[in-house]
């Protein structure tokens, strides 16, 4: 019977990641509530809430605690993930909610602790009296010990999976499922396919910048469309001189690279500076020298249709 109860508890045990997600959801809710509350005072005098900020925050968190943990035995993050608190100190095997004293101590440790820390920080911030200095050292020592205890508790939680926070361990409340979890059979074909395509996309993102697209296009063009006519002939130069072989527009400051095609100076210069092995995208000729267009053909003749 005991082994059966242990197996049932093991199958219904809340995952560590679910408990941590519930804590993160609670923090996100607190930030959202505080941002919405401060926007209500956007049109008032700046710094109106700064003086009473710890008290206002404590009142808001106390309001949330009243309608979450005190009423429903679960925080908002736990309710989203189908989790609630259980009294781990009870000897009854059935579900036992946290007692009223446990809930009150939970509010005192979480809400009261945050308020006390913020208020003490504001109190000791600008005080340099010896008595205040000793009190500040004592408060810092207590806060440091609590953080150390929280770290040790977190390491134990990672090993055993119970009591995600130090407050839960001290009060004897742990997270359990609100409703029994049914066993689900998960197929991993879709996940494997997504991982495969994701890895392939990352490989392409890494590979594509290393590919010289212009040179590859020139090679494919030279293979698919064989060139006709002698290079450097007047007719070919007249035809190709009407547009830049890179941008397709009328060439500005026309230059050649040793073949019959004409380029804008800025187009060919920027391409050559980007890639020292730049070749003509039309014929694949490598850059021998970048020279202005000099031939027996005037630009007026080139523009003749």
What are the sequence ranges of the domains in the chain?
7-177, 241-294
Task: Tell me the C-alpha to C-alpha distance, in Å, between residue 208 and each of 114, 163, 213, 271, 281.
Answer: 52, 49, 9, 17, 18
* Residue 23 pLDDT: 92
Q: Give the pLDDT of the chain (305 residues) as one tens digit per residue.
A: 445 455 445 546 788 888 999 999 999 999 999 999 888 888 788 777 788 888 899 999 999 999 999 999 999 999 888 899 999 888 887 888 999 999 999 999 999 988 888 887 777 766 655 666 777 788 888 888 989 999 999 999 999 988 999 999 999 999 998 887 665 555 667 777 888 888 888 888 888 777 766 667 666 766 665 544 444 444 444 455 677 877 878 888 888 887 878 888 888 888 777 777 777 777 777 776 777 876 544 444 444 44
Among candidates 145, 108, 114, 139, which has minimal Cα distance to 125?
A: 139
Write out the DSSP string of 209-259: GGS-HHHHHHHHHHHHS---S-TT-HHHHHHHTTS-TTT-SPPSS-EESSS
User: Helical H runs in 93-212?
Assistant: 100-107, 113-124, 130-160, 166-171, 189-207
Spelled out in words, what is the top-level CATH class assigned to the domain 241-294? alpha beta
Summarize pLDDT for 65-104 with one digit per residue, the tens.
999 999 999 999 998 888 999 998 888 878 889 999 999 9
* Residue 206 pLDDT: 85
Structural element, H or E, at residue 16: helix 16-39
Residue in the structure block whose two tokens are 């000791």: 124
Judge whether 166 and 153 are in contact, CB under 8 Å. Answer: yes
* Residue 254 pLDDT: 86
């Amino acid at each position: 019977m005991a082994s059966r109860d242990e197996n049932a508890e093991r199958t219904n045990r809340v995952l560590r990641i679910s408990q941590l997600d519930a804590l993160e959801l609670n923090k996100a809710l607190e930030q959202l509530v505080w941002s919405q509350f401060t926007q209500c005072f956007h049109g008032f005098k700046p710094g109106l809430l700064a003086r009473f900020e710890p008290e206002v925050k404590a009142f808001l968190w106390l309001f949330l605690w009243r309608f979450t943990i005190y009423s429903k035995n679960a925080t908002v993050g736990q309710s989203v993930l189908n989790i609630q608190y259980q009294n781990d100190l009870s000897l009854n095997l059935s579900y036992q909610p946290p007692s009223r004293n446990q809930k009150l101590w939970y509010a005192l440790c979480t809400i009261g602790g945050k308020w006390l820390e913020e208020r003490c920080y504001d109190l000791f911030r600008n005080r340099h009296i010896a008595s205040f200095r000793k009190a500040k050292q004592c408060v810092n020592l207590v806060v440091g010990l609590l953080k150390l205890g929280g770290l040790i508790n977190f390491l134990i939680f990672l090993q055993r999976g119970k009591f995600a926070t130090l407050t839960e361990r001290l009060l004897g409340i742990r997270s359990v499922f609100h409703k029994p979890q049914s066993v689900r059979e998960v197929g991993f074909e879709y996940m494997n396919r997504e991982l495969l395509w994701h890895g392939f996309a990352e490989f392409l993102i890494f590979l594509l910048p290393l590919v010289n697209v212009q040179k590859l296009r020139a090679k494919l063009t030279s293979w698919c469309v064989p060139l006709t006519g002698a290079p450097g002939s007047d007719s070919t130069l007249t035809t190709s001189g009407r547009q830049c072989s890179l941008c397709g527009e009328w060439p500005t400051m026309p230059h050649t690279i040793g073949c019959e095609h004409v380029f804008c100076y800025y187009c060919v210069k920027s391409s050559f500076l980007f890639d020292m092995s730049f070749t003509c995208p039309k014929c694949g000729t490598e850059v021998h020298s970048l020279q202005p267009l000099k031939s027996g053909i005037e630009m007026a003749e080139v523009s003749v249709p």
